[in-house]
Amino acid sequence: MANRLAVGVDLGGTNIRIALGNDEGQILEKLMERTEKTKGPEGVANQIIKMIRLLQAKDPQAKNIVGIGIGSAGPLDLKRGGLMKPTNIPYDFVPLVEPLQDALGIPTYLLNDCSTAVMGEKHFGAGKEHENLAYITLSTGIGGGIYVDGHLLIGKDGNATEIGHFTIDYDGLLLCGCGKRGHWEAYCSGNGIPNFVRLLIEDKNPEEVETSLLLKMVERDLSKVTAKKVYEAAKAGDPLSTRIIEEIGVLNAVGFACVIDAYDPSLITVGGAITLNNGDLVIDPIKRHVKEHARNRVPEIIVTPLGGDVVIYGALALAFHPNEWKQM
């Protein structure tokens, strides 16, 4: 029997990536474009429709797809099938499901990108044997997707696993992008790490700071600190940056411990640019410190084998298995 085919869409604030794939997790075609942000609320949907038609022109098999799955950065309004006040797109509501179904006549499903990613892990990645599975992304933001007892967790608005907004600092020294203080994402995400580094440096020996490779790399201008530079300096052996990434790891371990105690997964896979670019430098400190905070048995923690395509795989899994989450 021929494999079933679907289209998976990874909708981000910067790029839209779409792929044609089969139910065994083979990706046959891929396309990427910059996300259209200025052509009205329906601009994004129109762009995805155009990209899918392009895919269908390239590969005639793409005319016989069973569904379209979309994994998107939130916040989502799953009941209305679109994005609600997205951070990077200047409209109150961006409809996706209805315009795609109307234009293409193909069942279309939308889910938060991290929930989509964990579906990819469960069906096509390291999570096949796991009924209790968590995926965590450490990227521009921090997010999670989680199965408990084989059920994908969704929540009343589709935001059941907004783990990046766990409070890990009661004193709330840093402000999160969501407007609240002390959230995990405010310290350990790509957006948060520069602020956390500046905070940490205040308590460090001024001479060590002055002579560090990190300070040289940012030309002594702390406003130029990025997550990438801190990890690069640590890779080059800078003692200050090595200590800083350990302290980032300690806070990540607190966040991971909360995930372990709340959801009791038997496997955690980790993705996102910070993880994929730095591997063990990110994962090892978490493994070292997580036992200090987790009450539950600590599961295996690994980098996702699906790499930067984890949301695409998940969007395909969503198209093939739409019943795994309750349609709102």
Interacting residue ranges for Zn ion, rule: CB under 5 A: 165, 176, 178, 180, 183
Q: Which residues contact 75 (CB under 8 A, 6 or more apart)?
A: 83, 84, 85, 86, 157, 159
Q: Identify which of residues 175 and 209 has a Cβ nearer to Zn ion in the complex.
A: 175
Q: Least distance to Zn ion from the beta carbon of 291, Å?
A: 26
Rounded CA-CA distance 188/138 in Å is 8
CB 298 within 8 A of CB 256: no
Rounded CA-CA distance 272/142 in Å is 8
- Looking at beta carbons, which residue is closest to Zn ion? 176
Q: Least distance to Zn ion from the beta carbon of 229, Å?
A: 24
**Residue matched to tokens 């839209």:** 16
Q: Least distance to Zn ion from the beta carbon of 161, Å?
A: 14
Q: Identify which of residues 99 and 182 has a Cβ nearer to Zn ion in the complex.
A: 182
Rounded CA-CA distance 92/89 in Å is 9
Q: Where are the beta strands (DSSP E) in 35-105?
A: 65-72, 76-77, 82-84, 93-95
Token pair, residue 8, equals 């998976």
Q: Least distance to Zn ion from the beta carbon of 165, Å?
A: 4
Q: Which residues contact 32 (CB under 8 A, 6 or more apart)?
A: 15, 16, 17, 18
Q: Least distance to Zn ion from the beta carbon of 190, Å?
A: 14
Q: Identify which of residues 81 and 182 has a Cβ nearer to Zn ion in the complex.
A: 182
Q: Which of 165, 152, 172, 103 is nearest to 263 (CA)?
A: 152
What SS3 class is residue 193?
Answer: helix
Q: Least distance to Zn ion from the beta carbon of 261, Å?
A: 19
Q: Identify which of residues 17 and 183 has a Cβ nearer to Zn ion in the complex.
A: 183
Q: Identify which of residues 108 and 115 has a Cβ nearer to Zn ion in the complex.
A: 115
CA-to-CA separations, 169 to 83, 107, 255, 283, in angstroms, rounded: 29, 43, 11, 21
Q: Least distance to Zn ion from the beta carbon of 74, Å?
A: 12
Q: Identify which of residues 188 and 303 has a Cβ nearer to Zn ion in the complex.
A: 188
Q: Identify which of residues 73 and 303 has a Cβ nearer to Zn ion in the complex.
A: 73
